[in-house]
């Protein structure tokens, strides 16, 4: 389950299995049925600033790990 700030994300589904659970002015909550791939996590990254919550916890942890690895790469890049 993924919860977003309700801006832009409504116009393009993240996945064909997307089911809208909540759709109001304060939140946009969806459910997806899929096996997370790196491509899926890249799609989440394009919406990262609008993400409010991610379930299940293992998907959230992997997403955070990928984001931290990217930040670490930028911090370690030669100047």
pLDDT tens-digit readout, 24-54: 888 889 999 999 999 999 989 988 888 889 9
Q: Is the peptide bond before 60 cis (omega within 30 degrees of 0)?
A: no
Query: Quick one: residue 48, left, alpha or beta (phi over 0 = left, psi -120 to 50 = alpha)?
Result: alpha
pLDDT tens-digit readout, 53-69: 999 999 999 999 999 99
- Output the pLDDT for position 36: 95
* Residue from 20, 16, 46 nearest 31 by CA: 20
- pTM of structure: 0.81
Distance CA(30)–CA(73), nearest Å, equals 31
């Amino acid at each position: 389950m993924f919860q977003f700030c309700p801006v832009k994300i409504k116009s393009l589904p993240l996945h064909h299995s997307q089911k809208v659970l909540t759709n109001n002015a304060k939140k946009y909550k969806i459910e997806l049925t899929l096996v997370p791939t790196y491509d899926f996590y890249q799609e989440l990254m394009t919406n990262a600033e609008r993400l409010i919550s991610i379930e299940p916890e293992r998907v959230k942890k992997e997403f955070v790990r990928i984001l931290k690895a990217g930040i670490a790469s930028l911090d370690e890049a030669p100047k």
